[in-house]
Amino acid sequence: MPSPLSRIRTELLQSDLPDCEIAAAVQLPTVFKVPPLAYSSGLNHLWFKDTPWEEAMIKKILTGCLLLSCFSMTAFGSWSTHVEDDVFTGGKKAMLGGDIGPNHGLIFNCDSDGLTMSFLERRADDEPIRSREFNLVIKVDGQAVRRFSGSSSIRNKDWWHIKTNDSDGIVQLLEELKLAQSKVLVGIQAVGFDNKWSGTANTSGSTRETERFFKACQIK
């Protein structure tokens, strides 16, 4: 009888999931050792409950794939880009992401709906997230501080985010990220409250991956 891991790999390889998600799940030894980045995944249907051990392993794989999903398995840095076809435009859609420690990240998306940026934070189990307005503050190296307004919502079962669609400001920030040499400072503050949070992302891979994002999104 095939082992549980063999069955999991077989099921994944026979599925219609994007190649990047399959690769993330099949390469089990590396799944839990890479920077966590969130992306909504289609892996929920791969939910076996034959044994407690297998259920626990599937949960780990699903969590790993949600964090890894659609990021390059060959050259992990702090920044990674995934590009795929956009059925609505006939062009491309892309996601650029950078991690800010184990529980936070910064994600840029472009698709037929436009260009957006999201600050991500890991959710506690079933933690309710109320929509609230936030100020998002970002500084790349010695550049000027850039300020964005965004609102919070649930991104998927593991992450909530603060999302902004200030496309002009996002493009200017991305131009700075292409030239980044040292660090990216990120801060958030809920409008009307004094509570603040800040963190730092390094710039490993930022030039290469931002250029890939620009090309896919046809940003001039």
Q: Is there a single domain that holds both residue 59 and residue 105?
A: no
Which pair of tokens denotes residue 1? 């009888």
Classify burial at 47, counting beta carbons within 10 Å of its beta carbon; exposed 0-12, middle 13-18, buried 19 or more.
exposed
pLDDT, position 101: 86
For the entire predicted model, the pTM comes to 0.65
* Residue pLDDT tens, the chain, 220 long: 555 444 544 554 455 444 444 444 444 333 333 333 333 333 333 333 344 444 444 444 444 444 444 333 333 348 999 999 998 888 899 999 999 988 999 999 999 889 999 999 988 877 677 788 999 999 999 999 999 999 999 898 888 999 999 999 999 999 999 999 999 999 999 999 888 999 999 999 999 999 999 999 999 7
Is residue 75, in this structure, part of any structural domain at all?
A: no
Q: Is there a single domain that holds both residue 39 and residue 89?
A: no
The values of phi and psi at residue 92, to 5°, are -120, 155
Is residue 22, in this structure, part of any structural domain at all?
A: yes
Is residue 74, in this structure, part of any structural domain at all?
A: no
The H-assigned helical ranges of 45-190 are: 52-68, 167-178
Q: Is there a single domain that holds both residue 159 and residue 198?
A: yes
pLDDT, position 157: 83
| Among candidate residues 15, 38, 68, the one where a domain is terminated | 68
The values of phi and psi at residue 109, to 5°, are -125, 140
| Among candidate residues 42, 68, 94, the one where a domain is terminated | 68
Is residue 78, in this structure, part of any structural domain at all?
A: no
Is residue 76, in this structure, part of any structural domain at all?
A: no
Q: Are residues 28 and 65 in contact, defined by beta-carbon separation less than 8 angstroms?
A: no
Q: Is there a single domain that holds both residue 62 and residue 125?
A: no
Q: Is there a single domain that holds both residue 168 and residue 98?
A: yes
Is residue 193, in this structure, part of any structural domain at all?
A: yes
Q: Is there a single domain that holds both residue 29 and residue 119?
A: no
Q: Is there a single domain that holds both residue 96 and residue 33?
A: no
Q: What is the domain count for the chain?
A: 2
pLDDT, position 127: 67
Q: Is there a single domain that holds both residue 104 and residue 176?
A: yes
Q: Is there a single domain that holds both residue 198 and residue 128?
A: yes
Is residue 23, in this structure, part of any structural domain at all?
A: yes
pLDDT, position 1: 55
The values of phi and psi at residue 19, to 5°, are -55, -35
**Of 76, 71, 67, 79, which is closest to residue 43 (Cα–Cα)?**
67
Domain range for 150 is 85-217
The CATH number for 166's domain is 2.60.40
| Among candidate residues 68, 94, 116, the one where a domain is terminated | 68
Residue 135: partners with Cβ closer than 8 Å, 6 or more residues away: 147, 148, 149, 188, 189, 191
Q: Is there a single domain that holds both residue 25 and residue 91?
A: no
Q: Is there a single domain that holds both residue 111 and residue 58?
A: no
Q: Is there a single domain that holds both residue 20 and residue 61?
A: yes
Is residue 73, in this structure, part of any structural domain at all?
A: no
The H-assigned helical ranges of the chain are: 4-13, 19-26, 28-31, 52-68, 167-178, 206-217
